[in-house]
């Protein structure tokens, strides 16, 4: 059985890298379902994700497929892994606080107890290092979430430092590994 990965893409300039991530996960045999936040749609459209994942892309909490079950609940029930890449400071805060006001945050809050959560941050270095963000990261780690990155380098804001999305191939490697570790039964 293929691993079922929900890829949450948030509003970072690194959102374009998530298309390559979806492609790599699909090529590795994963069943990839993409959820784009409204802010992610400011950086990239749903078309590349729909084509690369071979599945409809969820962009709104009220996107519905056929059937009676709300789409966000179906995704949360069937996920082996929720991968949020890139993850903004805003999304990390929402996940830490348990806010559920869009499709991605609702999927995260409804995630089945067997699924893993992998977060790949991408943001300005000062935002990453801010005490509020670090407290939110600690909260999520205490609940079992795993973080990959960020890495150091030239940031889109022109600063040099910590905040870049971890290399896509390494995020894909870890996602495949974690999705396969879902306890069965």
Provide the annotated active-site residues.
157
Residues in the chain: 185
Helix, strand or coil, per DSSP, at residue 153: strand
**Burial of 144 per CB tally in 10 Å (0-12, 13-18, 19+):** exposed
Residues 6+ apart with CB under 8 A from 172: 21, 24, 25, 28
Helix, strand or coil, per DSSP, at residue 35: strand
Other CB atoms within 10 A of residue 52 CB: 21
Question: Residues 155, 125: contact at Cβ < 8 Å?
Answer: yes
Cα within 13 Å of Cα(177), Cβ side: 9
């Amino acid at each position: 059985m293929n691993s079922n990965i929900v890829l949450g893409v948030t509003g970072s300039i690194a959102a374009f890298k998530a298309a390559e991530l979806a492609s790599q996960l699909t090529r590795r045999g994963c069943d990839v379902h993409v959820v784009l936040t409204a802010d992610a749609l400011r950086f990239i459209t749903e078309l590349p994700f729909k084509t690369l994942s071979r599945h409809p892309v969820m962009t709104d909490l009220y996107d519905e497929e056929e059937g009676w079950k709300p789409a966000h609940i179906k995704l949360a029930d069937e996920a082996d892994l929720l991968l949020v890449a890139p993850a903004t400071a805003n999304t990390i805060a929402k996940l830490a606080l348990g806010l559920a006001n869009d499709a991605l945050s609702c999927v995260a809050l409804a995630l089945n107890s067997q699924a893993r959560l992998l977060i790949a941050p991408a943001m300005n270095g000062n935002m990453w290092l801010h005490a509020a963000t670090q407290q939110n990261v600690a909260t999520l780690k205490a609940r079992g979430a795993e973080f990959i990155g960020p890495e150091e380098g030239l940031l889109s804001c022109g600063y040099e430092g910590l905040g870049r999305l971890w290399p896509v191939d390494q995020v894909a490697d870890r996602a495949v590994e974690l999705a396969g570790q879902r306890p069965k039964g």
